[in-house]
Amino acid sequence: MMKILCIGNSFGGDCTHYLHGVARADGVDTKVVNLYIGGCSLYRHYRNMLSEEPAYLFELNGASTGLYVSLKTALLSDEWDVIFTQQCSPDSGEPETYEPYATAIADYVRRLCPPAKFFVHQTWTFERDVPRFRLTSFTEPEAHFAAIKKNYFKMAELTRADGIIPDGEAMFTLWQRKDEYGIQKVHRDGFHAEYGTGRLLLALTVWGAISGNDVSKNTFRDLDVDEPEEHIAAARAVAAETLAKYRA
């Protein structure tokens, strides 16, 4: 069994929601946990690390357990194979918001879970004209994502990460090409992933990044909403294309 832990927020919930099912479609049993606090930043993860406050809702295999745990409790609760974290989405384009928190969290994870691989989870930009843009210093998704991409490469370098999970790139690509694929919505509210194709795209990209598997033929399609086969095929194609770019 592969045990995967996301030190996350709502974007962590989006990317892990279907991850257990996507892995199972490849014949791999997993335990997938997202530590959820809405809008949680690296700074707040760092403060929670120091305080050991049971502030995180424990989400297991895409569902809430109703249990609240501390970061330390979660890290010590199992023998994790993969652990990843991310900056909160409004701060992801702002380089000064990452340090010293990202490296401190990575060092803490390695101290408590030395066998685990540590990844950084690249988040995504927002659609134009959503209020969330007012929380950033940007006005256009293109410039916002360019900054996000640069910041996550730097985060991966400073934390000596085992890799980047390029969900931001995958979401940006699908959003730019949604008319080509006949997809109306990639985001459900302008920034969170749409419940079907959007979340599937994220899970496929996470799985491909941490497992090395080819996701282009992954058969998972047990989504929470009905999606036509061509939308599912688009998610597979974009995830595989994005992963190939980051492996090159």
Chain segment 19-66, per-residue pLDDT in tens: 999 999 999 999 999 999 999 999 999 999 999 999 999 999 999 999
pLDDT at residue 248 greater than cutoff 80: no
Closest CA to 41 of 138, 161, 155: 155
Pairing assessment for the beta strands 2-7 and 82-85 based on DSSP bridges: parallel
At 202, which CATH number? 3.40.50.1110
The CA-atom distances, in angstroms, between 77 and each of 2, 4, 57, 58, 84 are 14, 12, 14, 12, 16
Report the b/e string of 42-62 with b at 16+ CB within 10 A: bbebbebbeeeebbbbbbebb
pLDDT for the residue 135 = 81
Mean pLDDT throughout 206-233? 97
Nearest Cα neighbor of 167 from 69, 113, 246 is 246
Q: How many domains is the chain partitioned into structurally?
A: 1
What type of residue sits at position 132?
Answer: R
56-60/63-69 β-pairing: antiparallel
Number of Cβ within 10 Å of residue 76's Cβ equals: 12
Residue 139: which pLDDT band, with cuts at 50, 70 and 90? confident
Structural domain boundaries enclosing 27 = 2-247
Q: How long is the chain?
A: 248
**Distance from C-alpha of 74 to C-alpha of 233, rounded to nearest angstrom:** 35
pLDDT at 18: 98
Q: What is the pLDDT at residue 130?
A: 85
Per-residue confidence at 129, pLDDT binned at 50, 70, 90?
confident
Which H/E stretch holds residue 178? Answer: helix 178-181
pLDDT band at 229 (very low <50, low <70, confident <90, very high): very high
Amino acid identity, position 4: I
Examine the pLDDT at 133 and tell me if it is beyond 90.
no
Answering whether pTM is above 0.95, one says yes
- Give the three-class secondary structure for 12: helix
| Predicted local distance difference test score (pLDDT) of residue 2 | 98
